[in-house]
């Protein structure tokens, strides 16, 4: 039994109010302005720290099995805990790909000792090759919570329609990396001013927009639950809003780097290379607007660790992807909430309530009877991000050296303290 005293909660009007929370049997038993402690209770004085549901990231890459030099479930889980997360969804682009019930069961087994809730996507297609659909029902029974060929767009229109019909029958969300490969033309950064000035091959917005439009039409037609991964263009926000107005069961996510950076921030440095790429200011502002209006419900990091050697090959030669689990909240609080681009409530909702609603989770709510998955954040703590100090094996972040305000102090999972004073409790 744990009593949290002197915490701050967000009211609907974005005001912070003082609150005490009593945790018992893995649940939030009581929330009140003041709760008197009783004998045998562990009392934690929050000293005015913000209490929220534990953060949920439905888009991470833990690289296990197959790529332990980049990340493992253990190191990725520790990075997630440091970032305030209590639930993450890992993508299936590992080796071997978990495209059979046996392999999916192995993934679930690998994560059983993780300090937080690690869940797994099953691939839409065998080996993520986009040719033959996997057995959605069998993979769900083996532990898969959603479907994705992340890293690749499913190119065949008819196959995606069939996938949506089958996913609807199993009530599984399809989370899609929207990329029409016929429009790529060898691009690897945004097709904008920087690409032209530095003679790089560009990825046009249409690469994402065309496939997103197709999928939204098919989702409306089939009634499938469909989620757009790492949205990056202003037009894809417009398309998602349109499909939602039809009543389609569709949602989308945005990553911190697309909310904070544009192609004007690019350097000849592999840490600035991700897919989809950094776009332009019109895109960044529309993504922020989409968050504010609720068109975009989810913030997901797309945490994608790589070795330093891999990321040393510049924009042309480095693999796509950056890390993000340990930096997401402080970056977005410092550079979006503090200047007034979004409210604190919007940020927290997109990291908790949004994923909860999209994926039908029990966690992600701060209410009596809800799971005691909680994050305490000191909004007053100011520091500089040092990637070398991160728990993740990946150091590939363009935000190394950025000054931020707010630090995750304590994380509680199912009523058990797993991070306290910024230190992971093994």
Question: Residues 59-93: pLDDT tens digits?
Answer: 999 999 999 999 999 999 999 999 999 999 999 99
Q: Tokens in use for 34? A: 């003041």
Using alpha carbons, select from 265, 221, 280 the residue that is nearest to residue 402.
Answer: 265
Q: Tokens in use for 136? A: 């959605």
Question: Are residue 318 and residue 222 in the same domain, yes or no?
Answer: yes
Question: Are residue 380 and residue 313 in the same domain, yes or no?
Answer: no
Question: Are residue 28 and residue 63 in the same domain, yes or no?
Answer: no
Residue 321 in domain: yes
Residue 110 in domain: yes
Helix axes 206-222, 234-246, angle to 10 degrees: 10
Phi–psi pair at 196, nearest 5 degrees? -70, -40
Q: How open is the CA angle 303-307-310, to the nearest 5 degrees? A: 110
Using alpha carbons, select from 151, 178, 170, 182 the residue that is nearest to residue 240.
Answer: 178
Is the per-residue pLDDT at 12 higher than 80? Answer: no
Torsion, Cα of 32, 37, 42, 44 (10° steps): 50
Pairing, β 117-122 against β 374-384: unpaired
List the CATH number of the domain containing 173.
3.20.20.140
Q: Where in the sequence numbering do the catalytic residues fall?
A: 302
Question: Are residue 210 and residue 223 in the same domain, yes or no?
Answer: yes
The 10s digit of each residue's pLDDT in 240-289 is: 999 999 999 999 999 999 999 999 999 999 999 999 999 999 999 999 99
Residue 366 in domain: no
Question: Are residue 175 and residue 268 in the same domain, yes or no?
Answer: yes
The 10s digit of each residue's pLDDT in 201-227 is: 999 999 999 999 999 999 999 999 999
Secondary structure element (H or E) that encloses residue 289, with its range: helix 281-293
Question: Are residue 223 and residue 117 in the same domain, yes or no?
Answer: yes
Question: Are residue 231 and residue 326 in the same domain, yes or no?
Answer: yes
Domain enclosing residue 27, as ranges: 2-50+371-391+404-424
Residues 6 or more apart whose Cβ sits within 8 Å of residue 340: none
Average predicted confidence (pLDDT) for the chain: 97
**Residue 275 DSSP SS3:** coil
Any idea which of 33-47, 49-63, 324-338 has the lowest mean pLDDT? 33-47
Residue 128 in domain: yes
Quote the strand ranges of 263-321, DSSP E.
298-299
Say how far apart CA 179 and CA 153 lie, in whole Å.
5
Question: Are residue 249 and residue 385 in the same domain, yes or no?
Answer: no
List the CATH number of the domain containing 25.
2.30.40.10
pLDDT at 426: 81
Question: Are residue 144 and residue 203 in the same domain, yes or no?
Answer: yes
Residue 219 in domain: yes
How many separate domains does the chain show?
2
Share of the chain above pLDDT 90, in %: 98
Residue 145 DSSP one-character state = E
Residue 396 in domain: no
Rounded alpha-carbon distances, angstroms, from residue 135 to 2, 130, 140, 365: 43, 14, 9, 32
**What sign for the dihedral angle of Cα 243, 246, 250, 252?**
positive
Question: Are residue 99 and residue 23 in the same domain, yes or no?
Answer: no
Question: Are residue 232 and residue 335 in the same domain, yes or no?
Answer: yes
Residue 399 in domain: no
Residue 365 in domain: no
Question: Are residue 168 and residue 301 in the same domain, yes or no?
Answer: yes
Say how far apart CA 239 and CA 226 lie, in whole Å.
13
């Amino acid at each position: 039994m744990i009593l949290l005293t002197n915490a701050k909660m967000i009211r609907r009007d974005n005001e912070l109010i003082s609150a005490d929370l009593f945790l018992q049997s893995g649940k939030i038993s009581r929330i009140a302005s003041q709760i008197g402690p009783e004998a045998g209770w562990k009392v934690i004085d929050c000293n005015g720290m913000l209490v929220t549901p534990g953060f949920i990231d439905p888009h991470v890459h833990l690289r296990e099995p197959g790529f332990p030099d980049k990340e493992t479930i253990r190191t990725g889980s520790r990075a997630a805990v440091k970032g305030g997360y209590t639930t993450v969804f890992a993508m299936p682009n590992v080796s071997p790909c978990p495209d059979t019930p046996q392999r999916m069961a192995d993934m679930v087994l690998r994560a059983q000792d993780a300090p937080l809730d690690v869940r797994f996507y099953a691939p839409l297609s065998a080996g993520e090759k986009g040719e033959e659909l996997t057995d959605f029902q069998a993979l769900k029974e083996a532990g898969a919570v959603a479907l994705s060929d992340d890293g690749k767009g499913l190119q065949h229109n008819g196959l995606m329609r069939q996938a949506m019909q089958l996913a609807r029958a199993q009530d599984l969300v399809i989370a899609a990396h929207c990329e029409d490969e016929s429009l790529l033309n060898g691009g690897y950064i945004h097709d904008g001013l920087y690409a032209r000035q530095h003679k790089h091959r560009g990825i046009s917005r249409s690469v994402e927009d065309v496939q997103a439009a197709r999928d939204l039409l098919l989702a409306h037609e089939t009634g499938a639950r469909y989620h757009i991964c790492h949205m990056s263009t202003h037009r894809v926000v417009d398309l998602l809003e349109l499909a939602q107005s039809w009543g389609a069961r569709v949602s989308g996510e945005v990553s911190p780097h697309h909310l904070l950076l544009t192609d004007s921030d690019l350097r000849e440095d592999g840490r600035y290379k991700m897919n989809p790429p950094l776009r332009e200011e019109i895109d960044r502002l529309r993504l922020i607007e989409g968050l504010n209006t609720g068109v975009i419900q989810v913030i997901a990091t797309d945490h994608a660790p790589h070795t330093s050697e891999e990321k040393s090959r510049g924009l042309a030669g480095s693999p796509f992807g950056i890390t993000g689990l340990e930096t997401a909240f402080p970056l977005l609080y410092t550079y979006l909430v503090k200047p007034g681009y979004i409210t604190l409530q919007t940020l927290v909702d997109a990291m908790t309530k949004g994923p909860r609603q999209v994926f039908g989770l029990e966690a992600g709510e701060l209410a009596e009877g809800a799971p005691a998955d909680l994050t305490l954040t000191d909004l007053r703590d100011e520091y500089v991000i040092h990637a070398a100090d991160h728990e993740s094996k990946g150091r590939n972040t363009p935000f190394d050296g950025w000054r931020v305000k707010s630090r995750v102090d304590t994380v509680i999972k199912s009523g058990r303290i797993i991070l306290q004073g910024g230190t992971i409790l093994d």
